[in-house]
Amino acid sequence: MMTRIVGEVMTREVVQARRTTPLKDVARLLDRHRISGLPVVDHDDKVLGVISETDLIRRQAAQSASRPVRRFRVPMLRRAARRTDAVLRATTAEELMTSPAVTVHPEQRVADAARVMERRGVERLPVVDEEDRLIGITTRRDLLRVFLRTDEEIGREVVDDVFTRAMCLPPGAVNVSVRDGMVTLEGCLERRSDIPMAVQLTYRIDGVVGVVNSLAHRLDDGRDATVLRTGQTSPRIG
């Protein structure tokens, strides 16, 4: 398989909370299962949000630093005071969770999920079905496992999936070497247009961090080979 998808790496048994789960119970769940966050779902298992140990720590810090609320004239300070007050009053998962949750679908590519995590600054992504019901969860650690493949595994997959299956080339037609995830391609392909396709397909292999293209070609089927300086096309010879 050339591209791993979220459904292959996600955890299916998900520790979760309900709307009304007390914060003390949330803390117990996090501690018992040694996780840093969990999704909050409704009665239909649809994801409402995510609550993490960071949320609990923020509430504890706000409680420790609480003092009589003053009436701020600056709108920004008033909004900050309202947010702090809401955190202080929170007693259930729904009242403290981050909402809406950032979710993914099981058929999405692992690489795309990793980009979502990086862009949104989250540690975990609830995985939902077509009706937004929770079916799993994936974490940074799950996604990282895809990129911890050996060079030998990557090399075999490049040969099998790119050159044998996709491009229908005989064994040994292209020399594939891998070092620290960097793939070097050496050999001679039939057509010039095959080279960019080979490079693109190689990049899609999970664990590949870069491609060194040392491929040559026998036939130049590019536009420059058939267009004269006058702009007229010449017939192919031979």
pLDDT-derived band of residue 155, with 50, 70 and 90 as boundaries?
very high
**Per-residue model confidence (pLDDT) at position 231:** 37
Tally of domains within the chain: 2
**Per-residue model confidence (pLDDT) at position 106:** 96
Distance of CA 152 to the CA centre of its chain: 24
Task: Give domain status of residue 238, yes or no.
Answer: no
**What CATH number did the domain enclosing 86 receive?**
3.10.580.10
pTM: 0.61
**Per-residue model confidence (pLDDT) at position 143:** 84
Summarize the confidence of residues 72-79 as an average pLDDT: 54
Say whether both 186 and 216 belong to one domain. Answer: yes
**Per-residue model confidence (pLDDT) at position 234:** 36
Summarize the confidence of residues 178-189 as an average pLDDT: 93
**Per-residue model confidence (pLDDT) at position 232:** 38
More confident residue, 161 or 67: 161
Say whether both 137 and 218 belong to one domain. Answer: no
Of 66-80, 149-163, 223-237, least confident by mean pLDDT is: 223-237
Summarize the confidence of residues 185-198 as an average pLDDT: 95
Residue position matching structure tokens 């702090």: 84
Say whether both 136 and 155 belong to one domain. Answer: no
Task: Give domain status of residue 87, yes or no.
Answer: yes
Task: Give domain status of residue 36, yes or no.
Answer: yes
Convert the pLDDT of each residue in 126-138 to its tens digit. 999 999 999 999 9
**Per-residue model confidence (pLDDT) at position 50:** 95
> Does the pLDDT value for residue 230 go beyond 80?
no
Rounded distance, CA 42 to CA 132, Å? 11
**Per-residue model confidence (pLDDT) at position 79:** 56
| Closest among 3, 1, 7 to 138, alpha carbons compared | 7
**Per-residue model confidence (pLDDT) at position 158:** 95
Say whether both 185 and 140 belong to one domain. Answer: no
Q: Residue 100 burial by CB count (10 A; 0-12/13-18/19+): exposed, middle or buried?
A: exposed
Task: Give domain status of residue 229, yes or no.
Answer: no
Say whether both 122 and 41 belong to one domain. Answer: yes
90, 96 in Cβ contact below 8 A? yes
> Does the pLDDT value for residue 53 go beyond 80?
yes
Say whether both 94 and 164 belong to one domain. Answer: no
Summarize the confidence of residues 172-200 as an average pLDDT: 94
Rounded distance, CA 123 to CA 132, Å? 20
Q: What's the chain's average pLDDT? A: 84
| Closest among 37, 35, 229, 21 to 125, alpha carbons compared | 37
Task: Give domain status of residue 1, yes or no.
Answer: no
Convert the pLDDT of each residue in 84-123 to its tens digit. 565 677 899 999 999 999 999 999 988 889 889 988 889 8
153, 159 in Cβ contact below 8 A? no
**Per-residue model confidence (pLDDT) at position 226:** 41
**Per-residue model confidence (pLDDT) at position 171:** 86
Last-in-domain residue among 146, 177, 211: 146
